[in-house]
Amino acid sequence: MKLPSFLNLSPAYRITGIYLLLGLLWILFSDMLLAWFIKDMEKMRIMQTFKGWFYVLVTAVLFFLLIHKSFKRLDKARASLREAVSHYSHLFLNNPHPMWVFDCQSKRITEVNEAALKNYGYSEQEFLGLSLEQLHDPSDLEDVKGVLACGSPEFNRSSGFRHRRKDGSMIDVELITHRLPTDDNKPVRLVSALDITGRRQAFEAMKASEQALAESERQLSTLMANLPGMAYRCLNDENWTMLFVSKGCLELTGYPASVIEKNAVISFGEIIHPGDRQRVWDEVEHKLLTKAPYPLTYRIITANGAIKWVWEQAIGIFNEQGELAFVEGFITDITEQKKAEKALKDKNELLRTILDNMPFPMFYKDLLGRVLGCNKAFCDYLGKPFEMIVGRTAWELIPSMKALFIEEVDKQVLSTLSDFRKEEQLVFPDGRVIDTVYQKSLFFDADAIPQGYIGLYFDITERIKAEKIIKKQVEDLERINAELEQFTYTVSHDLRSPLVTIKGSLNLLRDDIKVQDDGQIEEGLSRIAAATKRMHHLLEDLLQLSRIGRIGNPFTRFSLNELLDEVKNYLHGILSESGATIQIQPDLPEVFGDRTRISEVFQNLMENAVKFREKERDLLISIGCDREKGQNVFFVQDNGRGIHPDQLEDIFGLFRKIDPGQEGTGIGLTLVKRIVEYHGGKVWAESAGKGKGSSFFFTLQDLPAEDN
């Protein structure tokens, strides 16, 4: 127990004790040794003197060594102290965190570093004069006084304090305090203030983020629980092994999530309809190469065997090495949508069928003029397929002038909200022409807002034809009425004259018979016979005229050259008697009509040429055909008397005679006109005047299409 107590003494006590012990032992035993070995007293005295000097020398050396060592240690300690003070001063003054020394007794700041002055905005004198109340938030004072109290722990670290800067702004700080050792044990603390404003804001932000994350997870959980479908995460294998499925799995597939996850009972790959499995696999493999979200539409078979159409939106999830980890996505039931799409498709197909079976062109377009749809008849009219019409405007489909007109019509219809109607002819690419009524109207949405235009071309070709027929019939009726008036006049005039002649001749004949004057009887009978013959010719011509259009032969195709040869042979007598020369154009076109009636046309025109020839020159009759404006124009020309231009319009009238003194009833050209018009043609005459010959022209309807 004594040894540890001795070792615990200070070095000065230990050295002094050792020195006293050694000196005592030296005095006691050195004299005994000298007395033991030296008997001479003088030598003894001398040796004791040397012994005393030896003891002094040894102790002096020992004391020198001890004092030298002590001073050396002291110098080293002083150097270490100076270095420590320098380090402390450097660390204190240059520390990036605000630091100051606080005297716990005086409650004053005694030292402050540059970081504190810069951070708080005070000068050194101002900072050293600050009190705790001026520096700290009032709500923190009690806690701060506890931290800085003289009896507080040697080290203390506390946060949640707020300091006030010179400009009045507040910062959040964490205080770290150390008790500093002093020579006089004065209670002094080193205070470090760490600005944790950003950390606190970050903490608050992190806390807010955690709350937002929790809320987001709650919302996601609620959303997934209420989504009309199934969210999933699966592997990219043939079974589409589900690692996770949401609660919507049961409603979508009829299987609980636990049955499908990890292929516990059935894999999702087995739920996919067999007819779609390979297609789904191929499409997904192709889409995963793009690393982008992809949609899919396919069928599944539910737990109760029902077939559902589903729509899937998914994306591949890849790890840092770019390898596919799994697939995430969402699947929803679109069976009703598919049914609606099919119903709409069927409805559109029905509408399309109805439109395509409409016999007239029809289209509809948006307000910008882009065609949204049309029927087959409209495609035929433009001569373009449906795909080349839809999406285009009139400027891209038809000539500019027509497109400009359509654009103006669109503006008018939209501005007035009224329909537009106009009659026009449509010319198809195959040359077919139809008469139509073009009507354009607006179509509206459920809110009565215009959405576009509907255009229709109603075929009125038959109506136009009927109107033309009616018009012609009206004209014919007017002409017939006029002819009837003329006929009435003729009957009352021309038939009355022979009757008067016959009546007068009968009275004279009665007297001549009484007197048996044979010469007068013969002359009277001749007059009666001539009058009867004239009545016969007149009645025959009227009967023939009335038969045109009522009694005729079937229309046939025949050679005009052969017909003219027959007419020429029939008129051989009067042609030879008149010395007429007939020139017939070779290779005349074939015609289609009533062969007998057309022969009467040429016969009448040739007889007229003979009847109105010039006696002074030989008669020349030319017959031929010219092609004008896509139509055959037949002609019969002569070098006879000619016709005054004022008479050209009247010569085809009933009973109109160029020369009133000429024989005949004047019904021949009327007969020609009737026959030509009966064949769908027209007839006219041309002449340069008296003595310059005449030319008669007429047209006939074209050959039937199959004969062209």
- Say how many domains are in the chain: 6
Which CATH number does the domain housing residue 125 bear? 3.30.450.20
Q: Are residues 125 and 60 in the same domain?
A: no
447, 469: one domain: no
Amino acid 707: pLDDT:
47
**16 lies in some domain:** yes
CA 15 → CA 54, 55, 79, 568, distances in Å?
20, 16, 25, 181
Residues of the chain short of pLDDT 70, as ranges, are 1-12, 28, 34, 81, 84-85, 87-88, 183-184, 200-202, 216-227, 479-501, 531, 533-552, 653-666, 703-708
What distances in angstroms separate CA 142 from CA 136, 539, 638, one per listed residue? Answer: 10, 149, 144
Q: Is 236 part of any domain? A: yes
Which pairs with CB-CB distance under 8 Å and at least 24 residues apart come from 188-191? 188/101, 188/102, 188/103, 188/104, 188/110, 189/101, 189/102, 189/104, 189/148, 189/152, 190/92, 190/99, 190/100, 190/101, 190/102, 191/99, 191/100, 191/101, 191/102, 191/148
CA distance 708 to 702: 8
Ranges of H-type helices in 491-517: 496-514
Query: Of the residues 175, 195, 215, which one is the last residue of a structural domain?
Result: 195
346 is a domain residue:
no
**Residue at token pair 């019939």:** 473
Neighbours of 694 (CB within 10 A): 23
Q: Domain with 583 in it: what CATH number?
A: 3.30.565.10
Which pLDDT score, from 0 to 100, does residue 327 have? 94
Range of the domain at 479: 465-534
567 and 628 belong to one structural domain: yes
Contacts of 426 (CB under 8 A, 6+ apart): 361, 381, 433, 434, 436, 457
* Co-location of 562 and 702 in the same domain: yes
Residues in the chain: 708
Given the structure tokens 């009435």, which residue do they identify? 488
Residue 251 lies in a domain: yes
Residue 26: inside a domain, yes or no?
yes
Residues 560 and 699 in one domain: yes
Neighbours of 351 (CB within 10 A): 12
Question: Domain check: are 564 and 691 in the same one?
Answer: yes
Q: What is the pLDDT of residue 253?
A: 94
pTM: predicted TM-score of the whole model, two decimal places: 0.37
Answer yes or no: is 85 within a domain: no
Tell me, what's the pLDDT at 225? 60
- 678 CB-near residues (< 8 Å, 6+ apart): 548, 549, 552, 594, 597
Tell me, yes or no, whether 385 and 264 share the same domain. no
Q: Give the Cα separation of 245 and 247 in Å (integer).
A: 7
Any domain includes 611: yes
Where does 121-196 have alpha helices with state H?
124-128, 132-135, 141-148
What DSSP line would sit under 102-120, residue for residue?
Answer: EETTTTEEEEE-HHHHHHH
**Looking at residue 549, what is its pLDDT?**
47
Same domain, 401 and 484: no
Q: Are residues 604 and 475 in the same domain?
A: no
The percent of the chain in helix, strand and coil, each rounded to the nearest 5, is 50, 20, 25
* Same domain flag for 367 and 250: no
386 in the same domain as 317: no
Query: What's at 585, amino acid-wise?
Result: Q
Nearest 5°: CA angle at 703, between 699 and 707?
Answer: 160
In a domain, 49, yes or no: yes
The DSSP secondary-structure symbol of 578 reads H
Where among 427, 442, 459 does a domain terminate?
Answer: 459
Residues 572 and 698 placed together within one structural domain of the fold: yes
Distances (CA, A) of 245 to 157, 236, 696: 50, 15, 98
Tell which of 426, 443, 459 closes a domain: 459
Question: In whole angstroms, how large is the CA radius of gyration of the chain?
Answer: 69
pLDDT at 47: 74
Cα 514 to Cα 192, 507, 529, distances in angstroms: 180, 11, 21
